[in-house]
Amino acid sequence: MTKLGYAVVLAAALLPRATCLAQTGQAGVFSVQDDGQWQTSSNAHRLSKFPRIHPDGRVWFRFEAPETAKSVQLHIDRKTYDMQKDSAGLWNVVIPGAEPGYRIYSFVVDGTSFMDPGSIPFYSNGNVSVLEYPSPADSFYLPRHVPHGDVHEHWFYSKVDQKFRRAFVYTPPDYEKNPNKRYPVLYLQHGAGENETEWTHSGLVNIILDNLIADGRAVPMIVVMNNDFVYRPGDVRGRMALAPDWAGNFRDLLLDDAIPDIDAYYRTIPDQQDRAMAGLSLGGMLTNQVGLENTDTFSYYGIFSGGVVGDPTTAHHGVMADAAAFNKKVKLIFESCGSLERPESVRGNVEQLESHGINAVLYVSPNTAHEWQTWRRSLYHFLPLIFHSD
């Protein structure tokens, strides 16, 4: 059967079924068992009951493949699990658990990979299926009964790539109630595999900030999320679909198009002391290469798994060489990564900055790699540090 044929058959997996199954742990046919404690994943489609998570940590996946399928596997957390058929011809597997937070998974049918049609799609270098695995230690990104801000889909015209572009803009809970109040702005960038939707869809910045504001730990602020990828007419896309001058293109978009547009449309405090820039991975690199080259525009910087700012005596044309003068303009450089990445270089650079007299902060996310759990935690630790007047 062709890939298209598979996709047609797989759509039937959206249909709800009453039978609940659990794996026996033995080879052969998957058997029926239900203790009544399985809960459907928060990212499952409303017509689907899978994946399901048990209070003991196990996760149960189910997939409907064509009758001709000889092998179906689950791929998650860099591991592959063989699935078994049940008496109804559905493929199942129960795994002992998943790593905390946002986990991308897929099904492999006779060597061909498929998304789960019963899962709400997320974007990461294309649409993917995601399991949100509970992490009791990370309740900071769970919705609470607190005032909530709004996320706007904001369109503007860019003279750089000569087209209309979309940004996502978070406004804090009291934005509509206080029409005369103005707010500082954080420009927050995604990574190379994502787009402007990801800091709200996957990173949950709006929920994190709602909770921090409610707890009095963060200043109410506007957050602007632009797409990293900017192409001038005629640009040839290279590795990771980057333009030849990817940082320069983004710089011109941000400084000449995006910031003036946001300042004109939203009630911002349009000055350097009330503007921050941060990002993950490629977005962290842009924060470094664009933000720190424009210290007249930004006062706070957050680099999450995006490298380091370098030697304070020479980096960025020596802008940090005179620490006292630099500190009058720039209030914070925040660098972070997961403990399973390369924290030694990040830790070393923060120590180097501190020894030079620069206000630098290190955060290393325990037991995480280059992933959303690292970046959610990084943002959570970064937000309380910015826009405080002292």
Q: Are 50 and 44 in contact (CB under 8 A)?
A: yes
What pLDDT is recorded for position 25?
39
Which residues, in sequence order, are CB contacts of 338 under 8 Å at separation 6+? 305, 364, 365, 367, 368, 369, 370, 371, 373, 374
What pLDDT is recorded for position 31?
63
The 3 state secondary structure assigned to 131-175 is: EEECCHHHHHHCCCCCCCCEEEEEEEEECCCCEEEEEEEEECCCC
Task: Give 184-215 pLDDT, tens digit per residue.
Answer: 999 999 999 999 999 999 999 999 999 999 99
Buried b (16+ CB within 10 A) or exposed e, 128-143: bbbbbbbbeeeebbee
Which of 62, 46, 67 lies closest to 116, judged by CA? 62
Residue-range domains of the chain with CATH: 3-134 (2.60.40.10), 140-385 (3.40.50.1820)
Long-range contacts from 256-259, C-beta under 8 angstroms, 24+ separation: 256/159, 256/160, 257/156, 257/157, 257/158, 257/159, 257/160, 257/165, 258/156, 258/158, 258/167, 258/187, 258/224, 258/226, 259/187, 259/297
What pLDDT is recorded for position 87?
87
Task: Count other Cβ atoms within 10 Å, centred on residue 271.
Answer: 11
- Cis omega (within 30 of 0) on the bond before 51? yes
In angstroms, the CA 89 to CA 85 distance is 5
Structure pTM? 0.91
3-state secondary structure (DSSP) of residue 185 = strand
Query: Mean pLDDT in the chain?
Result: 91
Distance of alpha carbon 169 from the chain centroid = 15
DSSP structure class, residue 234:
T
DSSP structure class, residue 83:
-
In angstroms, the CA 189 to CA 283 distance is 5
Choice between 12 and 183, residue whose per-residue pLDDT is larger: 183
What pLDDT is recorded for position 17?
31
Buried b (16+ CB within 10 A) or exposed e, 355-382: eeebbbbbbbbeebeebbbbbbbbbbbb
Q: Are 275 and 224 in contact (CB under 8 A)?
A: no
Q: Are 41 and 51 in contact (CB under 8 A)?
A: yes
Mean pLDDT in residue range 24-36: 58
What pLDDT is recorded for position 336?
98
Residue 22 pLDDT > 80: no
Please give the single-letter amino acid code of residue 326.
F
The tokens for 210 are 């709602």
What pLDDT is recorded for position 361?
98
**Which one of 6-10, 65-69, 150-154 scores highest in mean pLDDT?**
150-154
Residue 14 pLDDT > 80: no
Which conformational region is residue 162 in: left (phi greater than 0), alpha (psi within -120 to 50 degrees), or beta?
left
Please give the single-letter amino acid code of residue 59.
V
Task: Give 86-129 pLDDT, tens digit per residue.
Answer: 988 999 999 999 999 999 999 999 999 999 999 999 999 889 99
Q: What is the largest CA-CA distance in the chain?
A: 73
In angstroms, the CA 360 to CA 273 distance is 17
Distance of alpha carbon 96 from the chain centroid = 25
Which of 41, 158, 25 lies closest to 92, judged by CA? 25
Which of 182, 233, 214 lies closest to 384, judged by CA? 214
What pLDDT is recorded for position 34?
73
**Kind of pairing, strands 275-280 and 39-40?**
unpaired
